Amino acid sequence: MALSSAPDILDLMPPDSKRWHCNDSWVRATDIYEVLSEPLLLPISTYSRGKLGKCIDISRLKTFRCTIDEAKAQSLTAVEHFMMALDQYNIDPTRTTLKLERDQKCMWDILDHQTTGSSNALEYLGLTANCIYLDFAVRYRLEVCVSRGYLREYALDAVFLEKLASLDVAKASRMLDYIADQELQVEDPMQIFEDAKFLCAPAKKRIPHYCSLVLKVNITPTCLKLNLPNVESSNRVMRKYNNLHDRFLRVQFLSETESDRIAKDRYNNDDVWKRLLRALHKGIRIGDRTYEFLAFGNSQLREGSVTFFCPTAYLSCDDIRKWLGNFDHIRNIAKFGARIGQCFSTTREVRGIRVPTVRLIDDIETEGECFSDGVGIISGLLGKLVVDEMKLDVVGEPSAFQFRMGGAKGVLAVWPREYAKHMEVCVRKSQIKFTTEANTLEIVKCAKTTTATLNRQTIIILEHLGVSCGAFLELLNAHIKQYEEAMTDRTAAIDLLTKFVDENQTTVIIAELLKADFQDPFVKNLLKLWRSWSLKLMKEKCRIHVEKSAFVMGCVDETGTLQGHSKKTEGSNTKRMDDLPQIFLQISNRKYRNKTTIIKGLCLIGRNPSLHAGDIRVVQAVDMQCLRHLKDVVVFPSKGDRSLPSMLSGGDLDGDDYFVIWEPTLMPKVWNTPPMHSEPVNPQNLDRDVEVNDLRNFVVKYMKNDFLGLIAYSHLAHADKKGVNSPMCLQLAELHSQAVDYPKTGIPAEWTRAKYQPKEWPHFMQPKSRTYHSRRALGKLYDRVAHENFDYVPSCEDEFDSRVSQGIHLTDDILAIARDIKTEYDQAARRLLKQFRLATEFELYSGWAMSKPAVGSDYKRQEDLGQQFGALKQRFRDMCIQAAGEAGGGQLEVLVAAMYKVTQDEVKCFLAAAEGGDLTCSSKPMPLIGFPWIFHWVLVKIAMGRDYKPLETSLAAAVRPTPMAPARKTDDDAPRVVDAPTEPRMSIEEPKSAGKVKEQANLLDFGAADVDAKPATTPYETPDETAESVALSRGAKGHEMVARESDSGAQSLGSLEPCRERSPGVPHTVPSPPISGHLEYRESGMDRLLRLYEDSEDSEED
């Protein structure tokens, strides 16, 4: 870190600071230029070069200079000790003077030439004649190697660069890829042309339609660090301009070590913020290209990340922003950026149809309170097509999807045909944020059920509401014991893995592998990592799984049958279940596919993070026949005095996830705590149109004033010391709400260290100083787990499974194919490991990262990691299926067995080279062994042979090679109904007559044994929709999907007239014309899907 003395010390003193130290008189330096104002005039680049004067690139300095006053005796004594210390480390100090001039030429002098301003054509030709030109793909990778320190720019002379330029672009790129992937320090650059290992990188990348090749760079306070191009899930903009993918650049602002965000609460970082402004205003130069600021996505902004674009002769950044949509009506800078950011959300475009039919329906409102904020409707047929396109590893068929479509965003819930039929999508006014012509249907994520967990915020609030400390300790002790048993007992492990389902459904996969009796290195490493990761989060975040819980997406009750919240109950001491707001929750069975459970009784519901006592509510879960088509979502009431989601930490229904808990021991004594009423913040609107410079400046302003994490951290400490309802905690809860809305309002939370930072910290927060021993629940929970060992060291010494490696005859050709694809897979996996700063591939496969994320939360990184690795898995699955010939044939099993055998051979070679030594100290990295496990269900099928039963597995990918027709309903097609706690104690309630399906429901209490059950009618089943009506959605030849009455021309979402009735739908409303012509059609998949639906409907009529 380079520092310089401040010209005016008073400028560095915070206005409310009461402490001062001599170190505070130094400011952070980012550049050393002879002309101090010159850096602000130049773009950021890998190498700093002054035009007006000389400069020193701080990031390149490898020498420390010490200045000692020889006139002082103490200094001379210190020098003797210092010289002795240097001698012990073989460091030879020399007396020299730091110079601003370079004596030796380097690669930049050969590749880059500055114009002198002369108009002399001969002089210009002379410059270009001596210039060595590298294709941008090669130049970019070369700068990756130089910026990361793998190659030294002074070692790259003209001979090397000429040789590199003479190679084929693909060959040269592969060489540099290998250096960066293996992180090799190459002292002699010429050896890469002679050593065959530098050509080991895959020859080409096969990129699926839902991915793009992304260039990423990190800007630190002193340098620009480039990353190798990586294949990632794309967004709307990248898909539109896919032929210009290398002109897009994702930029992230990080600390010098790239392990954390830039410190925002320091007053000596002004030069750092100026450097960020310099990048945003002047751009980033790589090779002969200058990338300019384009926009930022919603999640990007919270991570200190933005998107740049290098203009072409025919496309500028302004042109792209105009294509995104019409934002002229927005005068608030933050909201303007947020709306543009919708287009940069990572999504999967739903192909397979040409256009959906879009209807605008009214929001559900009562006295100004909106109950349907962010949620719309999608037909069952279109929902089925979404599932087929996504090829998801989820349990069952999702009932809701988070989406983007033009300027609309939020959630689409699947409802029967009386609400939406054929290819209809019903959107509400609350979902439409702007208008645009790019109205394709894009999916962000699908609804699924995971197990909810307690955390430090929820525990401290529940303790305040009357839950005993013993209840939390009992849960924690039980979990620790269960994890220990799971390491030695396969049955116990399977039971625990299916109880505590994680965000990425990895526990379900491991449980299936254990059922198939896999005990090979991959499965054992995943099992050990699962325990270590769980114990680590128990200690650091007090993250405790709750078996009787669910973590699900929210949607609204379109029928209006659920009882809503009444303000009359707020603050009441009564505990009448009939007064509570109602929810509906039906979750997929975690052990068996196509089986569900309906929750009934007393429940807790909330949303993370919860800081106010009223953020966690007590509700009543009920069974409603009219809602049984919805599963793996929590259905909120559409009536009452106030929207229930808005009371849960200010939530809405545009994709927020909520935890629902029906564990009796966690039910609070206080039921009706008044919710937090935040004062609305008036956004700062301009008296003019928002300009791009406003967005640039807002990025830096946001990064300097984003105190969300600090506010939550301070709240936790104050709540432990003073209580959740203390004035300080109530103020911090209000500030936290403002900080959450900052990206949309532009109004920062006014957090100051002197006012809000605690003077001492509870020991469970693991502070370095000023600590006290907490006696509350969080302190006792921390003490219980503090000494648990959660270190994780992977191993590959266990035996591979002979049922796979020896069960199928493998030819040399199939082994060669598997080896080539594995090489490419390993490269892609290693790049994701670097991107997410993961130590092992098992963390990548599972999403269970053991390290701290550089920015954002652990949950957000787990979600992003699951999304990116999911795209990688699907990409290589498609590649392997193509190589095998067909998805459903025996050749795929042969190729997967070959993938397993190739991996086993690599491990054997690695172990043989180690010769019994310490594998952790090996000079070569441990080979990656996760490649064959992207086909986990195929490995299970090979290992189990005739005992394999695909219809009993919960792995969706195992049973979704092709779209499936809805099965005919039988008399036992009813969900299992589970009672949550009731007042005053648990009881078994007799069902009321509600039709044939409900009469078959099994009403169980918590002590009853697990009973198999099957789902009731789903919205994907449309028995009353005839084949003729479905056929109307097809073109004349039965091949092309079109909307009804589509001859009236395209129309954007913003021009749709709203229906005059509230949902469910309006039968007399004319469907809107096609909203887009950009969807790519897949004829065979669509025809097959429609034929299956027609056949199922014909069978229903028979």
Over residues 855-880, the mean pLDDT reads: 87
**Is residue 928's pLDDT more than 70?**
yes
Which pLDDT belongs to residue 1076?
Answer: 32
Same domain, 194 and 117: yes
Same domain, 774 and 845: no
Tell me the HSE value of 559 on the side-chain side, using a 13 A CA sphere: 16
Q: Which stretch of 56-70, 742-756, 1025-1039 has the lowest confidence by average pLDDT?
A: 1025-1039
Over residues 702-713, the mean pLDDT reads: 91
Which pLDDT belongs to residue 437?
Answer: 86
Same domain, 780 and 821: no
CA angle 877, 1092, 354 (to 5 degrees): 70
Q: Give the SS3 label for residue 1032.
A: coil
Q: What is the DSSP letter of 345?
A: S
Over residues 772-794, the mean pLDDT reads: 91
pLDDT band at 952 (very low <50, low <70, confident <90, very high): low
Cα 495 to Cα 1087: distance, rounded to the nearest angstrom: 41
Residue 526 lies in a domain: no
**Is residue 254's pLDDT more than 70?**
yes
Of 170, 201, 232, which residue sits at a domain end?
201
Residues 775, 776, 781, 786, Cα dihedral to 10°: -40
Q: Which helix (H) or strand (E) holds 1002?
A: strand 1002-1004
Over residues 230-254, the mean pLDDT reads: 93
Between 1100 and 895, the more confident residue is 895
If one counts the domains in the chain, the total is: 5
pLDDT band at 384 (very low <50, low <70, confident <90, very high): confident
| Pairing outcome for strands 400-405 and 375-379 | unpaired
Angle between helices 936-944 and 890-914 (to 10 degrees): 100
Q: Are 1033 and 423 in contact (CB under 8 A)?
A: yes
Of 183, 201, 219, which residue sits at a domain end?
201
Residue 907 lies in a domain: yes
Q: In this predicted model, what pLDDT tens digit does every residue of 349-369 receive, in sequence order?
A: 888 776 688 999 999 998 888
Same domain, 921 and 807: yes
Q: Which stretch of 573-577, 704-708, 855-859, 990-994 has the lowest confidence by average pLDDT?
A: 990-994
Between 914 and 697, the more confident residue is 697
Between 927 and 352, the more confident residue is 927
> Distance between terminal CA atoms of the chain?
78
Residues β-bridged to residue 45: 285
Cα 449 to Cα 40: distance, rounded to the nearest angstrom: 50
Residue 568 lies in a domain: no
Q: How many residues does the chain have?
A: 1102
Q: Are 695 and 295 in contact (CB under 8 A)?
A: yes
Residue 375 lies in a domain: yes
Q: With pLDDT > 70 as the criterion, what percentage of the chain qualifies? A: 75
CA angle 52, 57, 59 (to 5 degrees): 155
Which pLDDT belongs to residue 1082?
Answer: 36
Q: Return the closest-CA partner of residue 986 out of 664, 585, 538.
A: 664
**Is residue 985's pLDDT more than 70?**
no
Q: Three-class SS string for 368-405?
A: CEECCCCEEEEEHHHHHHHHHHHCCCCCCCCCEEEEEE
Over residues 197-219, the mean pLDDT reads: 81
The Cβ of residue 952 has, within 10 Å, a number of other Cβ atoms equal to 12
Cα 1076 to Cα 1043: distance, rounded to the nearest angstrom: 11
Residue-wise over 431-445: b if at least 16 C-beta within 10 A, else e? bbbbbbbbbbbbbbb
Which pLDDT belongs to residue 902?
Answer: 94
Which pLDDT belongs to residue 1011?
Answer: 33
**Is residue 466's pLDDT more than 60?**
yes
Residue 643 φ then ψ, to 5°: -65, 125
Q: Are 587 and 596 in contact (CB under 8 A)?
A: yes
Which pLDDT belongs to residue 97?
Answer: 55
**Is residue 965's pLDDT more than 50?**
no
pLDDT band at 124 (very low <50, low <70, confident <90, very high): very low
**Is residue 100's pLDDT more than 60?**
no
**Is residue 798's pLDDT more than 70?**
yes
The Cβ of residue 345 has, within 10 Å, a number of other Cβ atoms equal to 18
Between 1041 and 878, the more confident residue is 878
Q: Which helix (H) or strand (E) holds 81?
A: helix 73-88
Over residues 538-554, the mean pLDDT reads: 94
The Cβ of residue 242 has, within 10 Å, a number of other Cβ atoms equal to 15
Q: Which stretch of 362-376, 390-404, 437-451, 687-701 has the lowest confidence by average pLDDT?
A: 390-404
Q: Are 629 and 1047 in contact (CB under 8 A)?
A: no
Cα 86 to Cα 81: distance, rounded to the nearest angstrom: 9
Between 178 and 74, the more confident residue is 178
Residue-wise over 1016-1041: b if at least 16 C-beta within 10 A, else e? bbbbbbbeebebeebeebeeeeeeeb
pLDDT band at 919 (very low <50, low <70, confident <90, very high): low
Cα 1014 to Cα 950: distance, rounded to the nearest angstrom: 16
Q: Return the closest-CA partner of residue 353 out of 1089, 1095, 1102.
A: 1089
Residue 949 φ then ψ, to 5°: -125, 95
Angle between helices 708-722 and 456-464 (to 10 degrees): 30
**Is residue 1088's pLDDT more than 90?**
no
Rounded to the nearest angstrom, the gap between the alpha carbon of residue 1036 and the centroid of all alpha carbons in its chain is: 42
Residue 1002 φ then ψ, to 5°: -95, 115
pLDDT band at 67 (very low <50, low <70, confident <90, very high): low
Residue 617 lies in a domain: no
Q: What CA–CA distances, in Å, run from 1023 to 387, 611, 1032?
A: 20, 47, 16
pLDDT band at 36 (very low <50, low <70, confident <90, very high): low
DSSP string of 596-620, one letter each residue = EEEEEEEEEEE-SS--SGGGSEEEE
Same domain, 835 and 945: yes
**Rounded CA Rg of the chain:** 31
| Pairing outcome for strands 224-233 and 289-295 | unpaired
Q: Which stretch of 482-486, 577-581, 1030-1034 has the lowest confidence by average pLDDT?
A: 1030-1034
Same domain, 132 and 72: no
pLDDT band at 135 (very low <50, low <70, confident <90, very high): very high
The Cβ of residue 1087 has, within 10 Å, a number of other Cβ atoms equal to 15
**Is residue 1058's pLDDT more than 60?**
no
Which pLDDT belongs to residue 350?
Answer: 86
| Pairing outcome for strands 400-405 and 284-286 | unpaired
Residue labelled with tokens 């799984």? 545
Q: Which stretch of 18-32, 287-301, 953-967, 985-999 has the lowest confidence by average pLDDT?
A: 985-999
Same domain, 815 and 934: yes
Which pLDDT belongs to residue 259?
Answer: 83
Q: With pLDDT > 90 as the criterion, what percentage of the chain qualifies? A: 47
Between 823 and 1053, the more confident residue is 823
User: At a CB cut-off of 8 Å and minimum separation 6, what does 805 contact?
Assistant: 897, 900, 901, 904
CA angle 664, 666, 669 (to 5 degrees): 95
Sign of the torsion formed by the C-alpha atoms of 466, 468, 471 and 476: positive
Q: What CA–CA distances, in Å, run from 132 to 135, 139, 162, 163, 288?
A: 10, 11, 7, 10, 12
pLDDT band at 15 (very low <50, low <70, confident <90, very high): low
Residue 685 lies in a domain: no
Q: What CA–CA distances, in Å, run from 19 to 16, 26, 102?
A: 9, 15, 43
Cα 718 to Cα 709: distance, rounded to the nearest angstrom: 14
Same domain, 100 and 112: no
Q: Domain limits at 45?
A: 31-105
CA angle 1072, 1075, 1079 (to 5 degrees): 135
Over residues 563-586, the mean pLDDT reads: 90
pLDDT band at 72 (very low <50, low <70, confident <90, very high): low
**Is residue 1074's pLDDT more than 90?**
no
Over residues 75-82, the mean pLDDT reads: 72
Q: Are 254 and 666 in contact (CB under 8 A)?
A: no
Q: Return the closest-CA partner of residue 315 out of 236, 256, 248, 234.
A: 248
Alpha helices, DSSP H, located in 927-983: 936-944
Same domain, 98 and 117: no
Which pLDDT belongs to residue 904?
Answer: 93
Same domain, 818 and 758: no
pLDDT band at 1059 (very low <50, low <70, confident <90, very high): very low
Q: Are 191 and 107 in contact (CB under 8 A)?
A: no
Which pLDDT belongs to residue 545?
Answer: 95
Rounded to the nearest angstrom, the gap between the alpha carbon of residue 422 and the centroid of all alpha carbons in its chain is: 32
Residue 538 lies in a domain: no
Which pLDDT belongs to residue 24?
Answer: 63
Which pLDDT belongs to residue 196?
Answer: 79
CA angle 122, 123, 128 (to 5 degrees): 95
Q: In this predicted model, what pLDDT tens digit does every residue of 159-192 receive, in sequence order?
A: 999 999 999 999 999 999 999 988 888 889 999 9
The residue ranges of DSSP E strands in 416-522, in sequence order, are 424-428, 441-446, 453-454
Angle between helices 692-705 and 270-282 (to 10 degrees): 150
Q: Give the SS3 label for residue 287.
A: coil
User: At a CB cut-off of 8 Å and minimum separation 6, what does 34 contact?
Assistant: 50, 52, 53, 54, 55, 100
Looking at every residue in the chain, the average pLDDT score rounds to 80
Over residues 619-638, the mean pLDDT reads: 95
Same domain, 123 and 45: no
Of 201, 222, 249, which residue sits at a domain end?
201
Cα 378 to Cα 1019: distance, rounded to the nearest angstrom: 10
Residue 80 lies in a domain: yes
Same domain, 43 and 161: no
DSSP string of 853-897, one letter each residue = PSSS-HHHHHHHHHHHHHHHHHHHHHHHHHHHS-SSSHHHHHHHH
pLDDT band at 113 (very low <50, low <70, confident <90, very high): low
